[in-house]
Structure formats: C-alpha cells, structure tokens
C-alpha cells in the first residue's frame, strides 16, 4: 500500500484493508439468506463499507449484473445496488475471514520508504 505523499493528514490516519476469505467460503450464500432481496444470480459483491462515528453504518455494494447486460446505465460507471446491513453483521462476517491485513498511516511519508531499524 502506498499513500499519496503530497496529501497531508493532520489528526487522521488513512489506509487500505485487505480481507482473504476462507477457502470454500459460503459468504455469497450468507448474503442470499440474510440480506433482503440479495440474489447471487443477479448481484455480485463489489465492496463492503464500515462507517463508525456518530452512528455505525455497514453497507454492502453489489454489482447489478442484469444492468450490465443492458444499455440502461452510464457505461463509464459500474451499476451497483446498495444494501444497508445491521451492525451484528460484523460478528457474522468474521467466521468467513481467513486473514485480514491493514495499515493506517498519517500520509506524511510513503510507506515504501520506511526502513525498520530496530531489528
């Protein structure tokens, strides 16, 4: 992960996160059973957003494959449906994960330029 060294983050940390699902994970089946109107024949998960602040909001964004087949959308964009999830989704999501990795940074220096000196 590399942050833009020209952006200055004052009192915040920013970064990226990766999640690797367990082999044979049935997460798509979970979505079909637990998210109203989620149909894996029509939707393909694209992103999950976690927001924590004044409230907790969890949103799953799924590509609407039926729209991709038509002409009724802006072809420079990806047509997605937004599914709002309950906060208990966090606990239900964890068993599907094999590993998770994220780094938060101030953005003041490129992470690729770090040299660990306390070896």
Query: Does residue 64 lie in a domain region?
Result: yes
DSSP codes, the chain: ----TT---SS--EEEEEEEEPTT--HHHHHHHHSTT--TTTEEEEEEEEEESSSEEEEEEEEEHHHHTSSSS-TTS--EEEEEE-TTHHHHHGGGEEEEEEEEE-SSS-GGG------
In-domain check, residue 119: no
pLDDT tier, 14 (very low <50, low <70, confident <90, very high otherwise): confident
Inside any domain, residue 49? yes
Asked, for residue 25, whether it belongs to a domain, the answer is yes
Question: Does residue 7 belong to any structural domain of this protein?
Answer: no
Residues 22-60 have pLDDT tens digits of 998 899 999 999 999 999 999 999 999 999 999 999 999
Domain for residue 12, yes or no? Answer: no
Domain membership flag for residue 5: no
pLDDT tens digits along 57-110: 999 999 999 888 777 778 888 999 999 999 999 999 999 999 999 998 988 888
| Residue span of the structural domain in which 61 resides | 18-113
Domain count, the chain: 1
């Amino acid at each position: 992960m590399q942050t833009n060294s020209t952006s200055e983050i004052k009192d915040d940390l920013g970064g990226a996160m990766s999640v690797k699902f367990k082999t044979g994970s049935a997460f798509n089946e979970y979505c079909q059973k637990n998210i109203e109107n989620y149909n894996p024949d029509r939707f393909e998960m694209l992103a999950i957003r976690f927001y924590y602040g004044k409230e907790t909001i969890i949103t799953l964004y799924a590509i609407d494959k039926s729209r991709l087949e038509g002409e009724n959308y802006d072809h420079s964009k990806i047509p997605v449906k937004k599914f709002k999830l309950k906060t208990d989704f966090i606990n239900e999501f964890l068993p599907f994960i094999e590993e998770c990795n994220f780094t938060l940074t101030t953005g003041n220096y490129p992470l690729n330029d770090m040299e660990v000196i306390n070896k």
